[in-house]
Structure 1
Amino acid sequence: MADEPASLFPDMDFSDIEDIGNIEGIPSEKKWTYVIDFEKRCLVLEDDGRPRKTKTYKEYVIQTAMRILNTERFQYVIFDEAIGVEKSEWPAWEDIEIKRDAEEALEAHSEIEKAEVLHMERIENKLRMGIRIVGVSATVEVEVKWPNEAG
């Protein structure tokens, strides 16, 4: 009798995860995703150790936008070419090209109707953007910064 394969995440209990792949037909206001701390590059956990889920639609849109803006396009085979931005190219690009890349990447998501970079600033090897995102059910503004990524 063969041994059971070891879990890739032995300390995580995923038994309560619903079918998150099937989001068709779910009203926008009820959509959620897991919360990621993008500076530390890790999941945010609840006190009981379970991954934290977004609680509001606005938080969902912000997390979705941050995931898109922190994913290098074409780097991961699990994502198609519409997911992510070309951050590795940004240092050589003009500001207008970076803004267009960010806006187009965000608008490729089905929950984002419009994205507009309100301001952008480069200081040494850092980049900061303020972005207004019009989602299907709410509008949010988010400040995004990338240390050591562009400049």
Structure 2
Amino acid sequence: MDEDESMFPEMELEEVDVTDLVDNIPSETKWTYKMDYRNRRAVLDEYGRPVRTTSYEEFLVETAMKILCTERFQYVVYGADVGVEKSEWQGWEDAEITRDIEEALTAHPEIEQAEVTSMVRVDRGMDLTIQIVGLVGTAEVNEVIEL
């Protein structure tokens, strides 16, 4: 047995409970990578490394943006409760869009409440202001979400 094998014993995939791994991380220490959603790429530092969120508020905003920019039912890697139905929004009433957004955000285990406080249809998108209450903090999202 070489040194690497003793440091990292082999483990069967069934033994790893990813939900437990994520749920056991204290909310205030959670982070995610920052994304440039307009250009659809990761935000990188001056050395070309991905940039992480540095506060719980940033984490909530980034998580919300990921949900709002993900078309529901389009990606097999995500469950049916991840994302919004943006492709349908143009034909929907504002109340239906608001409900879609708020339900999608509160489906995330870290988000307790989401309220769309402002929504204006612009060119090819929606100019949104959303108040988010997370498990250990709050955030406000102000973004234009392209359709």
* TM-score of the aligned structures, taking structure 1 as reference length: 0.82
> What corresponds to 2:133 in structure 1?
134
Question: How does 1:2-151 map onto structure 2 within 5 Å?
Answer: 22-147=21-146, 149=147
| Cα-Cα RMSD | 1.4
Deviation, 1:47, is 1.5
Output the CA distance in 1 between the equivalents of 2:123 and 2:141.
Answer: 22
- Say whether the 8 Å CA contact 2:68–2:145 is kept in structure 1: no
SS of alignment partner, residue 133 of structure 2: strand
Matched position secondary structure for 2:128: strand
In the other structure, the counterpart of 1:13 is: none
**Distance in 2 separating the partners of 1:51 and 1:117:** 30
**Residue 39 of structure 1, CA deviation:** 1.0
Task: After superposition, give the CA deviation of every residue in 1:17-73 in whole Å (9 maximum; x if it has no partner).
Answer: xxxx53121110100101101111100011121111111111001000000000000
AA aligned opposite 2:77: I
TM-score, scaled to structure 2:
0.84
Query: For residues 34 and 144 of structure 1, what CA distance do their matches in structure 2 show?
Result: 18
Matched residue count:
129
Q: Deviations over 1:73-100 (max 9, x none)?
A: 0000000000000000000000000000
Instruction: Tell me which residue corresponds to 1:4.
Output: none
CA distance in 1, matches of 2:142, 2:34: 16
Matches of 2:83 and 2:122, distance apart in 1 = 23
TM-aligned CA deviation for residue 140 of structure 1: 0.8
Letter matched to residue 109 of structure 2: S
* Superposition deviation, residue 141 in structure 1: 0.9
Task: Looking at secondary structure, tell me which structure has more helix per residue.
Answer: 2
Q: Which ranges of structure 2 fall in alignment gaps of 5 or more residues?
A: 1-17
User: In structure 2, how many angstroms separate the alpha carbons of the residues matched to 1:145 and 1:124?
Assistant: 10
